[in-house]
Amino acid sequence: RDSEWMGGVFKFLGLTIGCIQHDQPPEIRRAQYECDITYGTNSEFGFDYLRDNGMA
């Protein structure tokens, strides 16, 4: 929702926008994290951190 609302402004400024969603495969998630701005929920970011650091 927020990425759609502010996305036009950020794209106008030359920034890339990504959005993390629960059902995305790892290669799509990785591409979203490579963007300048990445939207997602606290739990998605938290679990991605734990998964990436071998804690989950």
Contact indicator for 20, 45 with CB cutoff of 8 Å: yes
**Strands 37-39, 17-19: parallel, antiparallel or unpaired by DSSP?**
parallel
Task: Tell me which DSSP letter residue 31 carries.
Answer: H
pTM: 0.79
Q: Give the pLDDT confidence score for residue 26 in this predicted structure.
A: 92
Which of the four pLDDT bands, split at 50, 70 and 90, describes residue 56? low
Contact indicator for 32, 19 with CB cutoff of 8 Å: yes
- List, for residues 8-32, the tens digit of each pLDDT value: 888 899 999 999 999 999 999 999 9
Domain range list for the chain: 1-18+25-42
**Please, which residues bridge with residue 38 across strands?**
18
Contact indicator for 51, 45 with CB cutoff of 8 Å: no
Average pLDDT over residues 39-53: 93
* Chain centroid, CA 4 distance in Å: 13
